[in-house]
């Protein structure tokens, strides 16, 4: 069998003749000499076995044994091996998301189960099939509030993840929605108020206080929440709840994809972005799943479309569903309690050394005040510890999860200077 070639010698000759050129070099004569490469300096070909050995040797140079205390929107949690094994089965991990999902009953059922779990955790009535990430979930929630209320102003708490705020601002600018971070402006002209709890700095907020400030019945409250704390904390009373799926069975993956969730009260379900899977019975009385709501422009009149979300993060949502199924309600609570207790343990040790915290009302992330953030983090890194995110010259955002051992916590406190 001949090796595959994109262009045969005859193909290349035909192209040159069509262009009235005598050689391939003449085709590239206008290119600058400094960007031309005459020799790639590649090694001799190797067998698959030898190539594997060489790649392993190169990979061994990577330093991967750091104790990780980095959060700020993406954190390291334990993922049971069964999550990747089940989600990688060919029945789920297809080459292309089915456009006509009604023929994919397994995919539809997994999305339906995912929606049910999200509603149980958030105490909301309806969940969509998932979002691209937490940032787009926040932005779509603001757009939904603007559609429902007919208002063009939204208040976004200063302590919301800055990356989420950037995406919100991008969406809002295109939709002519005014964005403000001054919650004292709550009034009758506001479409929504968006808060995050625990917020970007790890602090837990009493959203009832904000809800009491919203005196106009049309103004909606949107809460961006980490789902793991919701297994032990009471979900906030709000109109819409959004957040990230990354902590629930999804790897850090060099920054994504992470997936996001979107849940709301029943009265807003017709304005929910994306799609919603429902359960029914067929004409023979058998259980069947179908796309109950599809509110994008290809399914309804374009001016009635609620978003341009074509589908959902199906594989990420599936991994979340498998993770939650494997852990169960009690297992998720154990993750939450272990993460919170580990964070409190490290915070107490740092307080004993004379450090100061920005807030003591936190779940598993907190801000530590230091003299010099760069020196503080560099010293920890020299001792195989990724100490957190630098917020500014004097503040570090630290995240502690169930993955951090007592030894790692002790070492962090010991080398923190």
Q: Return the C-alpha torsion angle 166, 169, 173, 178, nearest 10.
A: -160
- Six-digit token string for 7: 């262009």
Which residues in the chain show pLDDT less than 50?
1
- Is the CB of residue 73 less than 8 Å from the CB of residue 201? no
- Among residues 111, 171, 68, the alpha carbon closest in space to that of 318 is found at 111
- What confidence score (pLDDT) does residue 252 get? 94
- Six-digit token string for 70: 């980095």
User: CA 346 to CA 415: how far, in whole Å?
Assistant: 12
DSSP annotation of 3 reads P
Q: Return the C-alpha torsion angle 99, 100, 104, 109, nearest 10.
A: 90
- Among residues 266, 267, 262, 244, the alpha carbon closest in space to that of 307 is found at 262
User: Which whole-number Å values give the CA distances from 156 to 185, 193, 244, 400, in the listed order?
Assistant: 11, 6, 17, 26
Is the Cα torsion angle 242, 331, 231, 247 positive or negative in sign? negative
User: CA 229 to CA 231: how far, in whole Å?
Assistant: 5
- Among residues 161, 134, 113, 365, the alpha carbon closest in space to that of 240 is found at 134
DSSP annotation of 362 reads B
**What is the reported pTM?**
0.86
- Is the CB of residue 373 less than 8 Å from the CB of residue 390? yes
User: CA 321 to CA 120: how far, in whole Å?
Assistant: 12
- What confidence score (pLDDT) does residue 103 get? 65
Structural element, H or E, at residue 116: helix 105-122
- What confidence score (pLDDT) does residue 297 get? 57
User: 81-323 belongs to which CATH class?
Assistant: alpha beta
- What confidence score (pLDDT) does residue 305 get? 74
- What confidence score (pLDDT) does residue 348 get? 98
- What confidence score (pLDDT) does residue 96 get? 61
- What confidence score (pLDDT) does residue 298 get? 60
- What confidence score (pLDDT) does residue 296 get? 64
Cβ density class 48-58: b for 16+ within 10 Å, e for less: eeeeeeeeeee
HSE-CB for 334 with a 13 A CA cutoff:
9
User: CA 275 to CA 128: how far, in whole Å?
Assistant: 6
- What confidence score (pLDDT) does residue 1 get? 45
User: CA 105 to CA 98: how far, in whole Å?
Assistant: 11
The ranges assigned to domains in the chain are 6-37, 67-79+329-415, 81-323
Q: What is the CA radius of gyration of the chain?
A: 26
- Domain 67-79+329-415 fold is 3.90.1150
Residue recorded with tokens 């999902």 = 101
- Is the CB of residue 67 less than 8 Å from the CB of residue 380? no
User: CA 256 to CA 131: how far, in whole Å?
Assistant: 13
């Amino acid at each position: 069998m001949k090796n595959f070639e994109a262009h045969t010698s005859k193909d290349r000759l035909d192209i040159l003749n069509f262009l009235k050129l005598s050689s391939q070099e003449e085709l590239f004569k206008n290119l600058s000499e400094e960007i031309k490469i005459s020799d790639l300096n590649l090694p001799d070909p190797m067998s698959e076995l030898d190539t594997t050995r060489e790649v392993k040797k190169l990979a061994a140079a990577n330093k991967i044994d750091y104790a990780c205390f980095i959060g700020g929107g993406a954190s390291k949690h334990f993922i049971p091996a069964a999550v990747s094994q089940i989600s990688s089965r060919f029945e789920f991990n297809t080459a292309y998301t089915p456009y006509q999902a009604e023929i994919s009953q397994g995919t539809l059922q997994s999305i339906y189960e995912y929606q049910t779990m999200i509603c149980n955790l958030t105490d909301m009535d309806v969940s969509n099939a998932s979002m691209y990430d937490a940032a787009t979930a926040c932005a779509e929630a603001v757009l939904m509030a603007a559609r429902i209320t007919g208002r063009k102003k939204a208040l976004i708490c200063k302590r919301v993840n800055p990356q989420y705020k950037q995406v919100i601002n991008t969406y809002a600018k295109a939709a002519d929605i005014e964005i403000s971070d001054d919650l004292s402006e709550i009034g009758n002209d506001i479409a929504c108020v968006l808060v995050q709890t625990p917020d970007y700095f790890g602090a837990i907020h009493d959203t009832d206080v904000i809800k009491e400030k919203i005196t106009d019945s049309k103004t909606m409250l949107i809460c961006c929440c980490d789902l793991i704390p919701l297994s032990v904390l009471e979900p906030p009373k709000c109109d819409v709840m959004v957040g990230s799926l990354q902590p629930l069975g999804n790897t850090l993956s060099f920054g994504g994809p992470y997936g996001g969730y979107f849940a709301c009260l029943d009265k807003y379900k017709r304005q929910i972005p994306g799609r919603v899977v429902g359960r029914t019975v067929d004409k023979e009385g058998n259980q069947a799943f179908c796309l109950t709501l599809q509110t994008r422009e290809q399914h309804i009149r374009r001016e009635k479309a609620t978003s341009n979300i074509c589908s959902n993060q199906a594989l990420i949502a599936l991994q979340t569903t498998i993770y939650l199924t494997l852990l169960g309600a009690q297992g998720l609570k154990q993750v939450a309690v272990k993460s919170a207790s580990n964070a409190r343990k490290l915070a107490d040790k740092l307080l004993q050394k004379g450090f100061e915290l920005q807030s003591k009302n936190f779940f598993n992330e907190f801000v530590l005040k230091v003299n010099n953030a760069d020196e503080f983090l560099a010293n920890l890194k020299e001792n195989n510890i990724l100490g957190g995110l630098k917020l500014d010259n004097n503040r570090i955002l630290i995240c502690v999860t169930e993955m951090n051992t007592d030894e790692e916590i002790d070492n962090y406190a010991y080398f923190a200077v």
